[in-house]
Structure 1
Amino acid sequence: MRPRPPVKGRGIFTGTGLIIGCLTATLVALVFPLWSYADRSGTGVDVLNAQTVSTRYGPLSALDREFVTKVRLAGLWELPAGQEAQQKGTTQAVRTAGEHLIEGHLFLDERVRDVAAKLGLELPNEATEQQRQWLATLTAAQGVTYDRDFANILRLAHGKVFSVVAQVRASTRNSLVRSLADDANTTVLDHIRVLEATGYVDFDALAQDMAADSTPPITNSPAQPGLVADPSRVIPAMPSASPTYTLPPAVSNPPPAAPEAS
């Protein structure tokens, strides 16, 4: 009898089996990194989750808490800066900008203290060292030099915080912080407009400082004043009748012992 030809294998070593095996290996290689990296620390989502606490108003991130603190800090130095501008400003436009600073930060400080109390956050009662330096510079300046430094220092500071407000408003999941960001956005934009309406803002220097993230020009600014805006075009905000404006101390509330479920 003639011997039968050997039967071709039908296991995994057939041509079809090899193709399936290669495809399976490729799929595993693609999927495994997703599994392995999902639990690794250092990713943006991981950091966000690690620094976020639950509240009844929604998750509260580290950026949210920083924003609340910065709103309070802004009022601690911009309110006295606005009061000083009303007294030392040589043009009606500068004095009007001072009125808007007072009105805006009296409103925002009341809002931020309410938000902080509900979230159990502690707020500062003293401006930062840089903010105190800005105030000292404005206090020492006189005449047109004061007008120019006031407009440029405050405009640069508002430009920086404006981007922070936008970032918080776009990303926060906390309803209280979202509402505070809405109010801060409206107030900061109003202050930017009235500061620019003074005619003293050096936009070239401002763009360079914003790009370099440097401190504002606080002495011997080379900027020349432009045309002073017509004060009648700026709607003044009526400040309080009190001759001085001091923000009340922040209510310090320790964080809740156990975060409440969102």
Structure 2
Amino acid sequence: MFYSPRILPLSLLLLLGACSPDAGQKDPVAEAQFQNEKRIGNENVTEKQERDAEFMVNAASDGLLEVELGKLAQQKATTPAVKNFGQHMAEQHAEANSALKALAEQKGLVLPGGLGNEQQETYRELSGLTGSAFDKQYMAAMVADHKKDVDAFEDMSEDAYDGDIRGFAAKYAPVLKQHLEMAEQVNDQVEELP
């Protein structure tokens, strides 16, 4: 194969550009939303299908954050209840994330492959904390996140356009409700910490 002297440096630059840290600076959540909107727009589908896709992307990004924060809690938490909660979240959300990924593949939807900018910021904030400050902030975040997730999953269990997505939301809404109750109990314990 013959390479032109001009093409080889250009292709090397493109290859290096793809590997550079700046190439990975795109927000995975925004990129997944964009890819889904583009596909949905090309297929001339309804607004309800767009809402389904948005729900799937948001559920995936929240699930990824729950797993990462659960791992962080296992390392940084000072309270055994917080460590246990973190372990439970990492395991349960990893399982739900796998089911979500399989459903997205079946539906031809793109999910984020990593934490979005908003989730990265939450992770950075919590990873900078230590001691009881970490325990309190982590549990407060878990209560807030699970309230938002329960609302979204309950809504989509009734309103999703796609029956499989409706079924997924219906299956995991009670699980998220349990997580919320657990988070509120542990949060009540750590609020009293100095």
Q: Distance in 2 between matches of 1:171 and 1:99?
A: 32
Aligned with residue 175 of structure 2, among 187, 196, 199:
187
TM-score by length of 1: 0.53
4+ residue segments displaced more than 6 Å: none
- Equivalent residue number for residue 174 of structure 1: 162
- Percent identity, please: 24
Deviation string, structure 1 residues 56-98 (Cα, Å, up to 9, x no partner): xxxx622211111112111221101001111211112111210
Which structure: greater helix fraction? 2
* Higher RCO (CA < 8 A, seq sep 6+): 1
Point out where structure 2 has 5 or more consecutive residues left out of the alignment. 1-43
What CA distance in whole angstroms lies between the structure 1 residues aligned with 2:110 and 2:118?
Answer: 21
Query: Deviations 1:179-238 (Å, cap 9, x if unpaired)?
Result: 21023313321221221121348xxxxxxxxxxxxxxxxxxxxxx8238xxxxxxxxxxx
Name the structure 2 match of 1:103: 91
Counterpart residue number, 2:12? none
The structural deviation recorded for 1:51 is: 4.6
Q: Is the 8 A contact 2:78 2:135 kept in 1?
A: yes
Q: State the superposition RMSD in angstroms.
A: 2.1
For normalisation by structure 2, the TM-score amounts to 0.70
- Say if 2:86 is the partner of 1:89: no
8 Å CA contact retained: 1:138, 1:150: yes
Q: For 1:113 and 1:166, how far apart are their aligned partners in 2?
A: 19
Considering only CA atoms, is the larger Rg found in Structure 1 or Structure 2?
Answer: 1
Question: Could you say which residue in structure 2 is the equivalent of 1:140?
Answer: 128
Matches within 5 A, 1:16-35: none
Instruction: Quote the residue 1:78 is aligned against.
Output: 66
Would you say how many aligned residue pairs link Structure 1 and Structure 2?
150
1:226 aligns with 2:192: yes
**CA distance 1:161–1:199, change in 2 (3 Å):** closer
Aligned to 2:113: 125
Kept in 2, the 8 Å contact 1:152–1:200? The answer is no
Rounded Cα–Cα distance in structure 2 between residues aligned with 1:97 and 1:76:
16
- Residue of structure 1 equivalent to 2:17: none
Q: Is the 8 A contact 1:155 1:196 kept in 2?
A: yes
Aligned partners of 1:87 and 1:193: how far apart in 2?
23
CA contact (8 A) 2:77 2:134 kept: yes
